[in-house]
Structure 1
Amino acid sequence: MLRLLAARGETLAVAESLTGGLVAAEITAAPGASTVFRGSVTAYATDLKRDVLGVDGTLLDERGAVDAEVARQMAVGVRKALGADWGISTTGVAGPDAQDGKPVGTVFVAVAGPGLDRMRGYADGGAEGKVAALRLNGDRTEIRMESVRSVLTLLLKQLSGEPVGNGRAQDTEQNGGN
C-alpha cells in the first residue's frame, strides 16, 4: 500500500477512534512510511470528532459517534486537516459494553481520496468517500485488530481500483483476529 501511494506521489492521513492509534502504528511500522504518511488524529472523544475533524455536530447528537456517515466525515476531515491526498478512518464499539445503542463489534471504516470526491448515492450528491459497515466477532483486542486490517484493506482496494460497492455502507460479518 505504501509503495502504491509513493509510486502515485500521494499521501495518507488517518483518523481513529476505537483503534486508538493502532492504524497509525501499523502504517509507521513499515520502513519508508514517512515518504507518504502525513500523520494521524486519535479522536476518541466525540467533541474532538466535531471540533478537530469537522464531523457535523447535529449528526453526532442524533446518531452518536458509531455511524457510517460519521466514519465518512472523519476520513474527509482528516484528509483536509492534515493536507493529505487520502484519508482513512475507524469508529465503532470494541467493548466490553455497547455504545450509543450499538452492540460490541459494530464498526465503520472509511476512505476518502482522489476520485471519490463526488460519490453518488448520498442525498447531497456531493459526498466523498467509501464506507464499510462491519459486524466483528471476538474480544476487544480482536475487534480492534480486525478494524485495522479492514480499513487498510479498504484503502488498498481503492488504490488498486478494485470495486468495493456504491459508496454506501457495506454490511459484512467477520471473525475478529481470524
Structure 2
Amino acid sequence: MTNEIIDLATKVGRALHEKKLLLCTAESCTGGGVSQAITEIAGSSDWFDCGFVTYSNTSKAELLDVSPALIAQLGTVSEEVAAAMAEGALRNSSAHVALATTGIAGPTGAVPGKPVGTVCFAWSRGDHTHTERLVFQGDRQKVREQTVIHSLQGLLRFIE
C-alpha cells in the first residue's frame, strides 16, 4: 500500500467522519483494494460500513441487485453497471454513500472498445449517482493501484 493511497484514505475518513457519513464499497477489478486502503486507517469503523467484492456477474446480480439484462446489454465494464453496483451497495447496507469499480485490469479481458486498463467508476448518495470511465496504462498491479487512487479522489470530490 503506497503512502499516496494511505494519505487519501485518511482524508476520506476525515471527510466522512466530519459529515457523519458511512461508506460502503462495491468492487470488482480492485478485488477489495479500496476497502483494504480504508481499513488501514485506525478508527475507520466510525465511517466505513462494509465492502462488497463482486467479481463475477452472478455475485453482482445476487449481492447488489445488478440486472443480468443490463450486464448482457452493456457489458460488465460500463458506467451503467458501475452505477447499478453503487446503488445496490447502498440498498444492501447501512451506508449513506457508496463507491463502485468495475474494469479490465489485464493482462487479458480486452474487448472491442474496451482495452485493458478500462475502468468504470460510480459514486452514489441518496438519489444522486456520478459515473466516470477512464483508461489507465500499465500492468495489472498499476491499473488496480490507479483505480484505488481515483476511487478515493473521486469520493472526496463527490462528498464535498
Identity of aligned residues (%): 35
Q: CA deviation at 1:15?
A: 0.4
Code of the aligned partner of 2:118 = T
In the alignment, which of 103, 108, 120 is matched to residue 108 of structure 1?
Answer: 120
User: Of the two structures, which has the highest relative contact order with CA contacts closer than 8 Å and spacing of 6 or more?
Assistant: 2
Q: CA deviation at 1:103?
A: 1.3
* TM-score normalised over the length of structure 2: 0.89
Provide the residue aligned with 1:9 in structure 2.
20
Q: Deviations over 1:59-104 (max 9, x none)?
A: 1111221111000110111111112100100000000113454210
Provide the residue aligned with 1:166 in structure 2.
none
Cα distance in 2 for residues equivalent to 1:34 and 1:99 = 37
Secondary structure of the residue that 1:137 maps to in structure 2?
coil
Structure 1 position 142 matched with structure 2 position 142:
yes
Code of the aligned partner of 2:84 = Q
Cα distance in 1 for residues equivalent to 2:143 and 2:97 = 24
Secondary structure of the residue that 2:136 maps to in structure 1?
strand
Secondary structure of the residue that 1:132 maps to in structure 2?
strand
- 2:57–2:68 contact (8 Å) kept in structure 1: no
Provide the residue aligned with 2:34 in structure 1.
23
Code of the aligned partner of 1:37 = F
Give the 5 Å matches for 1:28-177. 28-101=39-112, 102-114=114-126, 117=127, 128-160=128-160
- 1:65–1:100 contact (8 Å) kept in structure 2: no
- 1:64–1:100 contact (8 Å) kept in structure 2: no
- Structure 2, unaligned runs of 5 or more: 1-11
Provide the residue aligned with 2:9 in structure 1.
none
Cα distance in 2 for residues equivalent to 1:151 and 1:132 = 10
**After TM superposition, which residue ranges in structure 1, 4 or more long, deviate above 3 angstroms?**
none
- 1:111–1:131 contact (8 Å) kept in structure 2: yes
Secondary structure of the residue that 2:77 maps to in structure 1?
coil
The 1:100/1:47 distance shift into structure 2, 3 A limit, reads farther
